Amino acid sequence: MSTQFANKVALITGGGSGIGRAIALAFAARGTAVAIGDIDPEGGAETVRLIEKKGSVGFFRVVDVTDSTAVEAFVTAVYQQFGRLDFAVNNAGIEGSNGRKITQYDQEMFEQVMDINVNGVWHSLRAELPIMEQQGHGVIVNIASIAGLLAMPRNAAYAASKHAVIGLTRSAALEYIRKGIRINAVCPGYTNTPMVARGFAQNPVMGEQLVNMIPARRLGKPEEIAGAVMYLCSDEAAFMVGQTMVLDGGIEAA
Ligand code: NAD
């Protein structure tokens, strides 16, 4: 068990499923107490069960990241419970609707994608940063996407939201690095989670084509994304500031 992580506290939004859950379990395996904020009560409770199974301490609150007051209350509750906040992973996100050009894209869906993926990270940063600033230390990892670096025709809303997450990450990183707070982003490619499974279930043929487009010819594993987050949170990454770490099976390089 790494001493860098043992007896510390991590907060993860959207930790009730997929990548967020894998990150929660990676922290738990290292002896970090993990607080989950998620809109899904069953998913959040299940993650806490799995955290406890790993021998660590779990904490869960239902929170909608689009609601700044709720996010603030969640982060405050975590701090009150544990008395510290070492790591925050702003991960909650939705995929929006795939397969629609801009003029056919549902306006409400566009707004929902921006609200969860961008405002959600914004609200989370605004709640986490004052606590970390007061402590004089902290590490934040925002979960962006390769869609934050590349075009995503027929889901421009998702690409726009993830480009915004990268802009927020870089700017926040420079604002806070001299306060002892290190901020980076991870950009996963297609990763095997319920989010991707939903898309594949809707269109299995497109799913197969998509895997063939990935140089590694497979989806990423949530545990692989969690591994990158662990590195970014570790002292080994002390000089990584405002970066976007890509794990995509080779898509961006191709
Ligand atoms: P997922 O759908 O399995 O999990 C997302 C979690 O976020 C769920 O538990 C959900 O309840 C929660 N959530 C959704 N809206 C919320 C809200 N308003 N408030 C609080 N929680 C909310 O998806 P995932 O694949 O694990 O995605 C996690 C993150 O990784 C997202 O930001 C996603 O955009 C990003 N990402 C995923 C992939 C991929 O291929 N799976 C690729 C790149 C980036």
Cα of 178 vs centre of ligand 1, distance in Å, is: 30
Ligand 1: does its nearest atom lie under 6 Å from the Cβ of 66? Answer: yes
The model's confidence at residue 2, banded by pLDDT at 50, 70 and 90, is low
Structure confidence at residue 69 (pLDDT): 98
How buried is residue 77: exposed, middle or buried, by Cβ count under 10 Å (0-12/13-18/19+)?
Answer: middle
The full DSSP string for 95-133 is ---TT--GGGS-HHHHHHHHIIIIIHHHHHHHHHHHHHH
Q: Which of 166, 189, 157, 178 is nearest to 242 (CA)?
A: 166
Ligand 1: does its nearest atom lie under 6 Å from the Cβ of 12? Answer: no
Ligand 1: does its nearest atom lie under 6 Å from the Cβ of 188? Answer: yes
The model's confidence at residue 162, banded by pLDDT at 50, 70 and 90, is very high
Provide, rounded to the nearest whole percent, the portion of the chain with pLDDT above 70: 99
Cα of 195 vs centre of ligand 1, distance in Å, is: 7
Q: Give CA 15 to chain center in angstroms.
A: 8
Ligand 1: does its nearest atom lie under 6 Å from the Cβ of 194? Answer: yes
Ligand 1: does its nearest atom lie under 6 Å from the Cβ of 113? Answer: no
What are the tens digits of pLDDT across the range 171-223?
999 999 999 999 999 999 999 999 999 888 888 888 899 999 999 999 999 99
Active-site residue identified among 79, 158, 176, 190: 158
Indicate which residue's Cα is closest to atom 34 of ligand 1: 93
Ligand 1: does its nearest atom lie under 6 Å from the Cβ of 32? Answer: no
The residue type found at 28 is: A
Which of 16-20, 98-102, 229-233 is predicted with the least confidence, judged by mean pLDDT?
98-102
What's the mean pLDDT when you consider all of the chain? 97
Structure confidence at residue 3 (pLDDT): 78
SS3 87: strand
Cα of 152 vs centre of ligand 1, distance in Å, is: 17
State the average pLDDT over residues 70-84. 98
Contacting residues for 157 by C-beta, under 8 A, at least 6 apart: 96, 97, 105, 109, 110, 113, 114
Both tokens of residue 67? 């609601």
Structure confidence at residue 1 (pLDDT): 58
Q: Is 158 a catalytic residue?
A: yes
Cα of 65 vs centre of ligand 1, distance in Å, is: 12
